[in-house]
Chains A and B, each alone.
Chain A
Amino acid sequence: MRGPAISFFGDDFRTTKMVVVAVLLAFLGWHHARFSVERPEGYRAFLASPENHDGDRVLLPLWEVTEVQDDSFYRVSKSVVGVPIVGETVGLELGDTVTIIGHFRASDGAVLVRERIDHPWRKTKGLLSVLALVFAFAWVPKCFGWSSGRVVLRG
């Protein structure tokens, strides 16, 4: 290591540098959460002032179907639970994942579907990812260890 890399990656003030970066990460998380909740667009914002957003475009990517009421009404959930959707329910089952593109209706906060994209592979994708996680956690102790206050590489 030479020059700036020594001060950046060196052991001097190691704990301080790590704490500063951890605080920065926490700030980023807080900032992103605030941005997501308070941003003036999207379904959540439309619901806060419905009359200003009647007919506005809504995109709900990868939301879970949590209720199917009849042939033309269902509810989807993610960060907002139970968003009313007006659109065909053919082929929909509880637990399915869908992307909804539609328009906001101010009178009841419903989304009128213009396009529905089904994601039939979503559960398989989740299973594959869980499988990868299991492999990864089993593999971590084989590749990494702990010695004298540092992580060490094994193998």
Chain B
Amino acid sequence: MADLLTHGAVAVLVKASTGWRRPAVFVAGTLLPDVASRVPSIGLGLVHVHLMRLPEWMLFAWEPLHQPFGMALLAYLLAMLFPVAIRVSIFTNLLGGMALHLGLDLMQSHHGAGYMLAFPFDMGSFELGWIGSEATVPFALPLCLLAFWYGKRRQQSFSVLKKDE
């Protein structure tokens, strides 16, 4: 995974460049794969290594939430929590954000241990391997500042547009 700050900044930049409808949902979709999968597995992994041994299933069970099929299910589950009138829009924005997350992660190299894109239908893994697994770190803060500035600008012009309507 790329760092979460980069994921969030890239999501704001993509949303600001392609329209500004439901940006919060799109950004939430981008953060969700790591929040739902990596945060519990890394947290429990630290407990497992440093505090007490945990059953191994507790370390691995979260991974499908970082895979396309699991992401689609999670996006659907969360979309169903919203009012019916905006549910499809919420689902597509969440799934779009998740797809962006996976796209960014796929660019990384883990020396052969890639991402299982077709689980549970196929167990093969894939990654493009174009950049190192920490390559985004030096760009995270500048990207964040750029995303803040561009997002703010886009939000203002969207507000003016809405007022005119």
Residues of B with C-beta under 8 A to A155:
24
Contact across chains for B84 and A36 when beta carbons are under 8 A apart: no
Contact across chains for A29 and B82 when beta carbons are under 8 A apart: no
B117-143: CB near A (< 8 Å → 1, else 0) gives 001100100000000011011101100
CA distance A59 to B125 in the complex (A): 14
User: Which of B53, B91, B113 has the most CB atoms of chain A within a 10 A radius of its CB?
Assistant: B113
Contact status of A21 and B88, CB under 8 A, knowing A33-B60, A81-B48, A136-B31: no
Residues of B with C-beta under 8 A to A61:
110-113
* CB of B46 to closest CB in A, whole Å: 9
Q: Which of A11, A22, A121, A144 contacts B77 (CB 8 A)?
A: A22
* B49 on the A face (CB < 8 A): yes
Contact across chains for A122 and B88 when beta carbons are under 8 A apart: no
* B80 on the A face (CB < 8 A): yes
Q: Is the contact region of chain A dominated by helix, strand, or loop, or is it mixed?
A: helix
Contact across chains for B4 and A129 when beta carbons are under 8 A apart: yes
Residues of A with C-beta under 8 A to B69:
28
Contact across chains for B111 and A151 when beta carbons are under 8 A apart: no
Contact status of A153 and B73, CB under 8 A, knowing A9-B84, A29-B64, A61-B113: no
Interface size on B, residues (CB 8 A): 58
Contact across chains for B86 and A132 when beta carbons are under 8 A apart: no
Contact across chains for A81 and B49 when beta carbons are under 8 A apart: yes
Interface size on A, residues (CB 8 A): 57
Within B47-96, which residues are at the interface with A (CB < 8 Å)?
A: 48-49, 53, 56-65, 69-70, 73-74, 76-77, 79-84, 86-88, 91
Residues of A with C-beta under 8 A to B84:
1, 9-11
Residue of A nearest to B110 (CB): A61
CA distance A81 to B133 in the complex (A): 23
Q: Residues on A close to B: CB < 8 A?
A: 1, 5, 9-11, 14, 17-18, 21-22, 24-25, 28-37, 39, 59, 61-62, 64, 66, 77-79, 81, 99, 101, 117, 119-122, 124-125, 128-129, 131-133, 135-136, 139-140, 143-144, 150-153, 155
Query: Can you give 19 contacting A-B residue pairs, CB < 8 Å?
Result: A9-B80, A21-B76, A29-B62, A32-B64, A33-B57, A36-B60, A59-B111, A59-B112, A61-B111, A121-B134, A124-B137, A128-B4, A129-B4, A133-B39, A135-B8, A136-B28, A136-B35, A150-B81, A152-B83
